[in-house]
Amino acid sequence: MDTFYFEGTQFTALKDETVLDCLLRKGVKVTNSCKSGICHSCILKSTSSLDDISQKGLNSSKKEAGFFLSCQQKVAPDLEVFMPDSSTLLAEGEITSQERVTESVVVLKIQTLKKFPFKAGQFTNIIREDGVCRSYSIASQTGDQELEFHIRKVPNGVLSNWLYDEELIGKKIQLSEPLGECCLNDEMDGQDLLLIGVGTGLAPLYGVLKDSISSGKMGAIKLFHGGLTVDSLYMVENLKAIDHKFDFFSYHPVFLKGEDKEGFLKGNLVDLIKNLNFDKKNTIVMICGDPLIVKNIKQSVFLSGVPSKSILSDPFVSHSSN
């Protein structure tokens, strides 16, 4: 069995245990969410040599400073681990608006106390006072001072139910550094955009859409927003108004169950995208939301001839551990 040191105290790990799991098993509070290397909420610091995988996705200055993802680092003999100073990694924010737009989706606005640089399409971790932490995509346009989030309440979900049910205006929360690759860059200028959001997967795409409209640098933009029923779709009127205003943008709300409704497409989003005609060589495809649907659409878009570098996705994976 391997031992390691956390803040100078020796811990003994089970076979193949990660640093995070060992610390949680021993009752040490370490913020975490996805346990799969995506959210970066479990960051710790070390002076020892680390597995490459535990620093994957960190920028070079963080790597050099010894930061690592504790959910990815297997315990190794005599590893020295420390809790980093959270003030260098987290930003303070205050909830300024909380609008319940459907029976299960709340649109939150959060004002950060200091400047919070991010790119439209990225996500951050919202951390509650008691340390419960989950990733949420930013629905704001690059440069906005107020951050918008679209949060779906999942059955028995700890944080999403709190964010939906409680009256939270004025409540302080913490946010981690923004992350994620579902963003536009200069090399994409002039290409068409196919945006596909499942449920609150609309959030990052909404930010990307607003960025594209104000930069005027993209070609034709199509947005497909899928939900189980018509009532589960939100921001419909807002997106229809944008569709009417700009010739280069078209909005397609899609639902699976219920009676036909004018202005909405009824059907399976995966099949709909499979049969969609678009310029495969000149389109950036972004797919966000439910992990299984994102995976299926990504696969069918790739098989239809879109190069993998032109397909960006953010599956909203979850790991219930808090």
Ligand X SMILES: Cc1cc2nc3c(=O)[nH]c(=O)nc-3n(C[C@H](O)[C@H](O)[C@H](O)COP(=O)(O)OP(=O)(O)OC[C@H]3O[C@@H](n4cnc5c(N)ncnc54)[C@H](O)[C@@H]3O)c2cc1C
Q: Cβ(30)–Cβ(23) under 8 Å?
A: yes
Phi, psi of 104 (to 5 degrees): -135, 0
Structure tokens at 50: 């680390």
| Alpha-carbon span 131 to 19, nearest angstrom | 18
Amino acid present at 83 = M
Question: Which residue spans within the chain are E strands per DSSP?
Answer: 3-6, 9-12, 43-46, 67-69, 79-82, 90-100, 105-112, 123-127, 133-137, 146-152, 172-176, 192-198, 221-227, 249-255, 265-266, 283-289, 311-315
Contacts (Cβ under 8 Å, ≥6 apart) of 94 = 110, 111, 113, 170, 171, 172, 173
| Alpha-carbon span 85 to 71, nearest angstrom | 18
Min CB(209)–ligand FES separation in Å: 27
Nearer CB in complex with ligand FES: 37/219: 37
Per CB under 6 A, 316 contacts ligand X: yes
Nearer CB in complex with ligand X: 91/205: 205
How many residues belong to the site for ligand FES (CB under 6 A)? 12
Q: Which does 157 bind (CB under 5 to 8 A by kind): ligand FES, ligand X, none?
A: ligand X
Q: Which does 198 bind (CB under 5 to 8 A by kind): ligand X, ligand FES, none?
A: none
Q: Which does 42 bind (CB under 5 to 8 A by kind): ligand X, ligand FES, none?
A: ligand FES
Range 32-71, binding ligand X (CB under 6 A): 34, 38-39
How many residues belong to the site for ligand X (CB under 6 A)? 25
b/e per residue, 112-137, with b = 16+ CB within 10 A? beeebebbbbbbbbbbbeeebbbbbb
Min CB(321)–ligand FES separation in Å: 8
Q: Which does 236 bind (CB under 5 to 8 A by kind): ligand X, ligand FES, none?
A: none
At residue 261, the 3 state secondary structure works out as: coil
Range 16-55, binding ligand FES (CB under 6 A): 32-35, 37-42
Nearer CB in complex with ligand FES: 50/168: 50
Nearer CB in complex with ligand X: 38/183: 38
Nearer CB in complex with ligand FES: 71/273: 71
Range 112-171, binding ligand X (CB under 6 A): 123, 134-137, 150-152, 154, 156-161
Among 22, 24, 71, 138, contact with ligand FES (rule: CB under 6 A): 71
| Alpha-carbon span 172 to 49, nearest angstrom | 37
Range 252-271, binding ligand X (CB under 6 A): none
Q: Which does 41 bind (CB under 5 to 8 A by kind): ligand X, ligand FES, none?
A: ligand FES
Range 192-251, binding ligand X (CB under 6 A): 200, 203
Q: Which does 175 bind (CB under 5 to 8 A by kind): ligand X, ligand FES, none?
A: none
User: Residue 123, CB half-sphere, CA atoms under 13 Å: how many?
Assistant: 30
Q: Cβ(139)–Cβ(123) under 8 Å?
A: no
Q: Which does 164 bind (CB under 5 to 8 A by kind): ligand X, ligand FES, none?
A: none
Nearer CB in complex with ligand FES: 22/221: 22
Residue 143: DSSP 8-state: T
Contacts (Cβ under 8 Å, ≥6 apart) of 130 = none
Amino acid present at 16 = D
- Residues lying near ligand FES in the complex (CB under 6 A) are found at 32-35, 37-42, 69, 71
- Residues lying near ligand X in the complex (CB under 6 A) are found at 34, 38-39, 123, 134-137, 150-152, 154, 156-161, 200, 203, 314, 316-318, 320
